[in-house]
Structure 1
Amino acid sequence: MKYKDAIKLHRKNLGLTQEELAKLVDWTQARLSNYERGIREPTQDDLELLAKAMNLTMIEFLCLEPQSNKLTAQEKELLTISRQLPKSVQALLLDLAQNLATKQSS
């Protein structure tokens, strides 16, 4: 699968607009659009950033391993709420979530 197709497929599976995904990786919507249309080729770092933002491994991102990428209603709500918060608060929430996940897996 071509990079442009993988980006668009996963973005749509997650129910994200180009603008929403671009904000998650701190890009412009135009930059993401150029990648999806094949006008520009993403770098390895760009691909890794996109995969991480979509909570995918690189193997999953490149469609070498099937997985359902649909967000639940609760995950979509969390994402929507977090986007409305300042970056500093988002960082605090991410840190809290990571700490809670670590404790759950222990």
Structure 2
Amino acid sequence: MITIYHNPRCSKSREGLQMLELLNQPFTIVKYLNEPLSKEELTEIISKLGIAPIDLVRQKETVWKEAYKDKQLTDEQTIDAMVMHPALIERPIVVHNDKAVIARPADKIKEIL
């Protein structure tokens, strides 16, 4: 099953959703700002992405600049920050089985199907 972690207000996220619709495969939408991810869920997604937690952070977000920018955070602390402030999570994320991509650009979705 394909899952997209989606923010409807984000143009890149909407492009990712549109790509999934064009691929004509079943998928699930998780609006992660309304349905916050648990630490375990986010950790699993990061593992599937094969990246460091900091690479999933939207570092230009105000909350990051004000609360975290100049701090040396561990991976666990970075994940905790994203759990506490879901707007910090880069989007859209598309997961298919044991693989995931940050779908920027949306064509990256094809890499995991």
Higher fraction of strand: 2
Shorter chain as normaliser: what TM range? 0.3 to 0.5
Higher fraction of helix: 1
- The higher relative CO (CA closer than 8 Å, separation ≥ 6) is in 2
Greater Cα radius of gyration, structure 1 or 2:
1
